[in-house]
Amino acid sequence: IITLEAALLVFKVPMEGSFFVILVSSILYLLTSLGIGLLISGGLKAQFLACQIALLVSFLPSVLLSGFVFDLRNVPGFIAVVAYALPPTYFIELLRGAFLSGDNWTVIWKDWVILFLYLTVFFYLTNKTLKKTLEKK
């Protein structure tokens, strides 16, 4: 909400879409990111290693390959395939649409469904990989 306020008030970015779309999109993306983090941390024993792998697997590709920095229409085909395999690509598409072009419900529903599928897969895999017992010392 603070970032949204900064975009609207400080940087004067016009918002053509609805706050509801941005809110639901943000919740879906944050839950998807939480699923990725839980999956990584559940599979590793060392906290430092989990942090480093999470950084390499999620943060760096999210910034470079999501369409946030580089327009995905101008990248080579293989990189575009990798970019569209990442959840942040769909979140950036939702935000860009909500701010610049208004509520295009065809794109919104498609991206919401994709983010929800990612969310479901990551939480399912996390549930299957986590140990359900306590370690005794």
**58-106 pLDDT per residue, tens:** 887 888 888 888 788 888 888 888 888 899 999 999 998 888 888 888 8
Look at 128 and 70; give whichever has higher pLDDT.
128
Domain boundaries, the chain: 16-27+53-126
pTM of the entire predicted model: 0.85
Q: List, for residues 25-41, the tens digit of each pLDDT value.
A: 999 999 999 999 889 88
Residue 134: pLDDT band (50, 70, 90) is low
Alpha-helical segments (H) within the chain: 2-5, 19-43, 47-54, 60-65, 77-83, 87-96, 105-129
Taking the CA atoms of residue 15, residue 16, residue 19 and residue 23 in that order, the dihedral angle to the nearest 10 degrees is -80
